[in-house]
Structure 1
Amino acid sequence: MPVAEGNYVLLLTSDGRSYLVEVKDTYFHTHKDSVYLKELIGKEFGEIILGKNGTKFYLVKPSLYDFLMKVERATQVIYPKDIGYILQKLDVGPGKVVLECGGGSGALTTAFAFMVGEDGKVISYEKEEKFQKIAQKNLKKIGLLNRVIFKNKEVKEAFEEKEVEAVFLDLKEPWVLLKAAWEALKGGHFLGILVPTTNQVSRCLTELEKYPFVDIEVVEILLRKYKTNPERLRPEDRMVAHTGFLIFAKKVWEK
């Protein structure tokens, strides 16, 4: 399908840079060159675009990964390396209802909304209005705003929802909402938690023992990329190591 006005596209350069841009009547400037974005209308993904100074750009379709890596952020975001595992552990898919508390800038919210499809729903609690506005902006960019119910409030005792299929907590003290998460979940369904430090993990594990949760798991996901030189294949000098600890559990009615 040809590129249309208002679409988001990814412009790649031969030196490995990438730019996520909206196609509209304006110039996009890089450190080397500029592209008149309106001229992309009618182009096909995969074509080569020449900048004003002759720089070669590859026009490609942005993936969910590209949107997640380039979200506007006012908080630390959850990285794609963690998001993929979260989606699988929480069994997020078409038609599901997912509740998150601590939506932040909306990277995970975006992934949840993408996966639940038109028939699913994401409920996102965030006490900071300024963060929630950024999350809404990011969701609108990818066309998924209508799949999310935003709630600008701090939860202290209970969520308004019951019988949801997954709950994810991204808070400084998630253990205070474990009872609320248990009450909101359907039986046999899935809880996820993100915390950055080991003492927070320990506190969560201690509190989880007080409620009917089973199949408890703690993981840390590391990502190492490799240089794409076939003659000198080796790891990149830098890697995405610790970003947070993930805790997962399943609700049962009694232990």
Structure 2
Amino acid sequence: MVILLKAGDIVYLWSSKLEDGFLLSLVPGRRLGSHVGVIGHDDILASDYGKAVMTHTGHSFYILKPMLGEYTRKLKRKTQIVFPKETGFILLYLDIFPGATVVECGTGSGSLTATLAHFVGDGGRVISYDRRGEFSKLAEENCKLWKVAHRVTFKVRDIAEGFDEREADAVFLDLPDPWNYLHHAILALAPGRRLGMILPTTNQVQRALAALKEQRFADIQVIEVMHRYWKTDPERLRPEDMMVGHTGYLIFAARVEAQEAQ
């Protein structure tokens, strides 16, 4: 039985001619313009995933279920975002699981917030701090589009005031100076669980590492992720000319109890 799409659903329209696509939230009566013609949202709403819709010039787009990575890459933003190539490592190295409680500081446009909320499920929760209300508002709108905003608590506050949470399963800091707030992160994080952060420059990484060692964090790791696509033509298989290179250094560390000197 065909399950028709409904207003508010997000779809990814992909064109084989353009080798690219559009991510859009369906609104009855709205139209999408492209270099190869116009598509009415109503035509998409009358169809379903996996099927093709035609532009007014006869070009076809396939209706695909959107990927979270594509959504977070193309969402509306006012800030730099955490790229999908980093978010995968963050999910794994912070051990994000259904039902987890995650504290995030530096909400920004909500790219990572939406990803964390997606993976903690309805049994989990994400608490996201940012001192700028306009960022929290935009992030909440982006989370609503992905239908995960009910899993997130947005708090507009300067992190210098500390976190309300205790025994969190993970803490992530997207701040220019996270070393100044490690004492707050320790209080929020459950023993044995992981702290993560992202920093763009090596001098920031050096300061963060020194502070982590001073605070007696364990299993400290620094990771840089490169991401390169390949052309999909089997007759000229080779890497794309451009790649997603350096966007930030990821740092992970575990909270442990300080060992008494012998």
- Structure 1 residue 59 and structure 2 residue 63: aligned? yes
- Structure 1 residue 224 and structure 2 residue 228: aligned? yes
- Which residue of 19, 22, 25 corresponds with 2:22? 19
- Match of 1:151, SS state, is strand
**TM superposition shift of 1:138:** 0.5
Q: 1:118-197 counterparts in 2 under 5 A?
A: 118-197=122-201
For the Cα contact (< 8 Å) 1:46–1:58, is it kept in 2? Answer: yes
For the Cα contact (< 8 Å) 1:68–1:107, is it kept in 2? Answer: yes
- Match of 1:87, SS state, is helix
Structure 1 unaligned segments of length 5 or more: list them.
none
Query: Once the two structures are superposed, what CA deviation does each residue of 1:50-103 show, in whole Å capped at 9, x if it has no partner?
Result: 111111111111011121111111101000000000000001110000000001
- Match of 1:156, SS state, is helix
For the Cα contact (< 8 Å) 1:5–1:38, is it kept in 2? Answer: no
Structure 2 unaligned segments of length 5 or more: list them.
none
Map of 2:11 onto structure 1: 9
Map of 1:203 onto structure 2: 207
Map of 1:237 onto structure 2: 241
- Which residue of 30, 33, 39 corresponds with 1:29? 33
Cα distance between partner residues in 2 of 1:224 and 1:234: 11
Cα distance between partner residues in 2 of 1:246 and 1:80: 13
Pairwise CA RMSD of aligned residues? Answer: 1.0
**TM superposition shift of 1:157:** 4.8
- Structure 1 residue 76 and structure 2 residue 80: aligned? yes
| Letter paired with 2:55 | G
Cα distance between partner residues in 2 of 1:13 and 1:78: 27
For the Cα contact (< 8 Å) 2:113–2:126, is it kept in 1? Answer: yes
**TM superposition shift of 1:136:** 0.9
Query: Once the two structures are superposed, what CA deviation does each residue of 1:104-156 show, in whole Å capped at 9, x if it has no partner?
Result: 00000010000000010000001111111111111010111110000011111
Cα distance between partner residues in 1 of 2:204 and 2:88: 22
Runs of 4+ aligned structure 1 residues displaced above 4 Å come to none
Q: 1:86-125 counterparts in 2 under 5 A?
A: 86-125=90-129
Cα distance between partner residues in 2 of 1:180 and 1:23: 42
| Letter paired with 2:86 | D
For the Cα contact (< 8 Å) 1:157–1:177, is it kept in 2? Answer: no
Cα distance between partner residues in 2 of 1:6 and 1:149: 22
Cα distance between partner residues in 1 of 2:212 and 2:48: 52
Cα distance between partner residues in 2 of 1:115 and 1:155: 24
Map of 1:38 onto structure 2: 42
Could you state the TM-score of these two structures normalised by the residue count of structure 2?
A: 0.95
